[in-house]
């Protein structure tokens, strides 16, 4: 049975213990919940949890106009969710098996961005020229521009880049790699939740690519995450980009599971 609420505190009380049982596979629901707790706008959000046998065994949420996000849960929970009155869903994000089952239950198909979740094993730091540092308020215009460019490039609505940059700079979530004092790449680090945090986004402007900067800034962000925030570091890759998958594996990331972002139309 699904239960829905607009109250994030009620949702957290019901669903967070379930999500924390596997923080790696539930990295997106957990980090979004942490962001909302720390001030990320969530107007019109709807949160839900699925109960079976007297236990919470599933969770999902949507913060309009973004995608419906599915936690790692039984396929039957995802199918059951599609039978609920959840409004017009522009996109679905979640474990691939769940996303596919949900689309089938909806009787809809869309553009699929196949992703893979990776967990960091032993970190290998590349010998890329330059140095990493935490982004500061002076980097605000640059980080806004790069967050906006990243969202446009991957075709995903990541929210207001000005709000995101303001919040993430204040929290120390953004790091840059610079060479000769010039920033050439950026990575984000999520808050630690349940001993886990996630790297993302990772963005290098086109003119600076193929020089190892993305690998270097990811390794720097990963090291900082381990030193200051968590025990497990994860990230997502686009399976259509073999270069980024190879780069992350080269610095120590190991595959965990496949996910999907299915977009039915519009931005999500």
Q: What domains, with CATH codes, occur in the chain?
A: 2-115 (3.40.630), 122-251 (3.40.630.30)
- Tell me how far apart the alpha carbons of residues 187 and 200 are, in angstroms, rounded to a whole number: 6
More confident residue, 158 or 96: 96
Tens digit of pLDDT for each residue in 76-117? Answer: 999 999 988 777 888 999 999 999 999 999 888 889 999 999
Read off φ and ψ for residue 77, nearest 5 degrees.
-70, -40
Least confident of 92-106, 156-170, 174-188, 223-237: 156-170
User: Which stretch of DSSP H or E encloses residue 106?
Assistant: helix 96-106
Question: Which residues lie closer than 8 Å to 258 by C-beta, 6 or more apart?
Answer: 95, 96, 114, 115, 116, 117, 239
Mean per-residue pLDDT over the chain, rounded: 93
Reported pTM = 0.93
Coil, helix or strand at residue 6: coil
Tens digit of pLDDT for each residue in 125-155? Answer: 999 999 999 999 999 999 999 999 998 888 7
- Tell me how far apart the alpha carbons of residues 219 and 194 are, in angstroms, rounded to a whole number: 21
pLDDT at 158 over 70: no
Question: Residue 232 has what pLDDT?
Answer: 97
Question: Residue 267 has what pLDDT?
Answer: 44
pLDDT at 265 over 70: no
């Amino acid at each position: 049975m699904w239960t829905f609420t607009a109250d994030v505190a009620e949702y957290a009380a019901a669903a967070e213990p379930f999500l924390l049982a596997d923080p790696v596979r539930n990295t997106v629901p957990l980090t979004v919940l942490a962001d909302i707790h720390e001030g990320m706008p969530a107007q019109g959000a709807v949160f839900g949890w699925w109960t079976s046998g007297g236990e919470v065994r599933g969770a999902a949420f949507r913060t309009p106009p973004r995608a419906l996000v599915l936690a790692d849960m039984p396929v039957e929970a995802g199918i059951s969710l599609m039978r609920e009155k959840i409004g017009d869903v522009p996109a679905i994000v979640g474990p691939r098996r769940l996303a596919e089952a949900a689309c089938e239950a909806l009787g809809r198909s869309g553009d699929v961005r196949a992703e893979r979740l990776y967990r960091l094993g032993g970190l290998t730091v590349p010998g890329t020229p330059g140095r990493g540092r935490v982004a500061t308020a002076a980097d605000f215009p640059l980080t806004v521009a790069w967050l906006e460019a990243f969202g446009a490039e991957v075709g995903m609505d990541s929210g207001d880049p000005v709000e995101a940059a303001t919040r993430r700079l204040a929290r120390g979530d953004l790091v840059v790699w610079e060479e000769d004092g010039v920033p050439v790449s950026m990575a984000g680090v999520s808050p630690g939740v349940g001993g886990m945090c996630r790297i993302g986004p990772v963005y290098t402007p086109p003119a600076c690519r193929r020089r190892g900067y993305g690998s270097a800034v990811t390794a720097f962000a990963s090291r900082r995450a381990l030193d200051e925030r968590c025990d497990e570091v994860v990230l997502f890759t686009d399976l259509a980009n073999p270069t980024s998958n190879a780069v992350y594996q080269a610095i120590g990331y190991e595959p965990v599971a496949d996910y999907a972002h299915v977009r039915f139309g519009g931005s999500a």
